[in-house]
Structure 1
């Protein structure tokens, strides 16, 4: 797996490698910002993930996920974690809890 110093460096490289869709996290789904549909946890896979931790600000903690969907889309999801993370379903927590 590659190593990146910043979230923006990870996003730039993933886009060069074809991960061009922007996904947003919903409670129990991910939403493709370019389409009206949302995908349940069974309809996408996490191919790579990169964790970033801020040196002094807990709000700087994020994970960048490289995602492929069952219908062939490739994109990225950036999700904050820690004290300021969003409320998500148990299924989504399990899906996003990738092992190092």
Structure 2
């Protein structure tokens, strides 16, 4: 898996590789407003996951998911603070391999 210096670098290079659609992760599916497309967990594949943590700020994590669909659409899901992943149902969390971050005491 490729390592990127920043979230911006990851998004830019993935776009160059054809991941053009912007998906929002909803509790039960991914949604692209530009295409008015909803993808249930069984309709997309996670090609890569990139995690970013701002140095010195372990609570400030971001995740980029590169996904492809059975419909031939490739896109990105960006979770800038891992806030949206807190609202996924079990199937979405399992599909996106969500592992909750345990706060350190």
TM-score by length of 1: 0.87
Partner of 1:30: 30
Partner of 1:44: 44
Partner of 2:103: none
Q: Deviations over 1:6-56 (max 9, x none)?
A: 110000000011100000010110001212231100000000111011223
CA distance in 2, matches of 1:37, 1:96: 18
Where do 5+ consecutive residues of structure 2 fail to align?
100-105
CA distance in 2, matches of 1:25, 1:88: 8
TM-score by length of 2: 0.83
User: What secondary structure sits across from 1:14 in the alignment?
Assistant: helix
CA distance in 1, matches of 2:58, 2:35: 32
Q: What is the number of equivalent residue pairs in this alignment? A: 97
What value does the CA root-mean-square deviation take over the aligned residues? Answer: 1.8
Label 1:98 to 1:48 Cα distance change in 2 as closer, same or farther (>3 A). Answer: farther
Partner of 2:7: 7
Partner of 1:68: 68
